[in-house]
Amino acid sequence: MNALPAWLPVTSTMEKMYAFQQQLASNNATLSTHQGEDDAPYHPDILFIGCIDARLDLERLGITPERSLIRRTIAALVPHYKKDHPEQDFSETIEHALSRGVKHIIVMGHTQCGGLDACFHGVPKHLQRVADHLRIIDESPLIDAQAKHAIDALEPASIHVSLDNLRSYPGIKEAEAKGQLTLHGLLANTKTYDIQEYDEASNALKKMRLIKKPGDTSVMVSDFISLMKQEPPCAQRLENPDIHEPELLMITGIDTHINPTSLHIEYGKALIYRGFDPCAARRTDEKAALEFAIEVKRVKDVVLMLPKGSEEKLRQGIENLQHNHTVQQALAKKEIQLHGWIVDPSTHRIAALDPATKQFMPLGKTS
Ligand SMILES: [Zn+2]
């Protein structure tokens, strides 16, 4: 008997992923054609900060893996810098991004954001961790009664808060002053998939400018933005009524070696949290993401995914997650399943952690 899968593919999302893994397992030709991909140079020049929302299919929007780092957190909110604050990992993310020579930081909010909506209407009492995270909004001096008067005022205001908070981190203002770094604020409309640009001078959202001239440092960002506009497959898929019923929460790091598209995770089915050290499970925003996914969105599966070579880290990460309050309660009530997966970025093959033996077993392996 094959010991795996330790989990049952109870949701259609899991079933499709499992089928894809089986297909890969029985097709060695596919494996060999993909080999060597992870040797491709990885030169991120964008740090992209987006919401965990399942409709934001960032990876399909022109963000190529070798060009970006992606951080995803509820409502794309960046906290104000606090020195030696282990509950936050934004300073590590930013330090890492600057050391990698990132030239653009993009904060992308979106319409119909569950996080901002909770902020606007008041966070239900039982969602303590979500409330802790959303305090970023209330603690900002930029938020006044007017910003909280209507959701369409709060959307640009939240981007303003994140951009302003970004400048509180060491190195950001200096890099901006030297012309080495540009900050951008965008708002994606999840119905039409139009993107608006936040204009700091007028504190308002404006139609996107597409700048394309040689030597313009914005060219690269414009390329990315025009890709977003050229390829609006999301707009059509959004018409599918089932689209916003995420079934799983994917937790992974900020580098893009792992992306849901290459793993055949269906569009709209996965909330995605990306953190600098997702295995620590001690960050305010990761706790909030877990609470939001499990208690509000009622996802069935929580999957911690790391690239090949991080096996030991993943074992520890799963243990840490098991001690997370929200996860612990949901596991006890058998409402979720917790998975630890090691992904080989060059073959897209997944090895799943067997919780009993602590060993990794390939998914989809035929016995
Ligand atoms: Zn959102």
pLDDT tens for 119-167 read: 888 899 999 999 999 999 999 999 888 887 888 899 999 999 999 999 9
pLDDT at position 31 over 60: no
Q: Which two tokens stand for residue 305?
A: 């995914």
User: What distance in Å separates the CA atoms of residue 117 and residue 340, rounded to the nearest whole number?
Assistant: 31
> Residue 215's pLDDT is what?
47
Ligand 1 centre and the CA of 3: distance in Å? 38
Task: Say which CATH class 12-362 falls into.
Answer: alpha beta
Cβ count near 145 (within 10 Å): 6
Residues across the chain: 367
Q: Tell me the residue ranges of DSSP E strands in 189-230.
A: 195-199, 204-207
**pLDDT per residue over 184-237, tens digit each?**
898 888 777 677 889 888 888 887 654 444 444 444 455 555 555 554 444 444
Mean pLDDT within 57-64: 60
- Find, among 77, 80, 56, 38, the residue nearest to 255 by Cα: 38
Bridge partners (DSSP) of residue 109 are 187
pLDDT mean over 263-288: 89
| Cα 312 to middle of ligand 1, angstroms | 32
Q: Tell me the one-letter amino acid at 222.
A: S
Asked if 59 and 345 count as a contact pair (C-beta separation under 8 A), the reply is no
Q: If you measure from the C-alpha of residue 22 to the centroid of ligand 1, how many angstroms do you get, rounded to a whole number? A: 33
What's the gap in Å between 288 CA and the centre of ligand 1?
Answer: 12
Ligand 1 centroid from CA 284, angstroms? 16
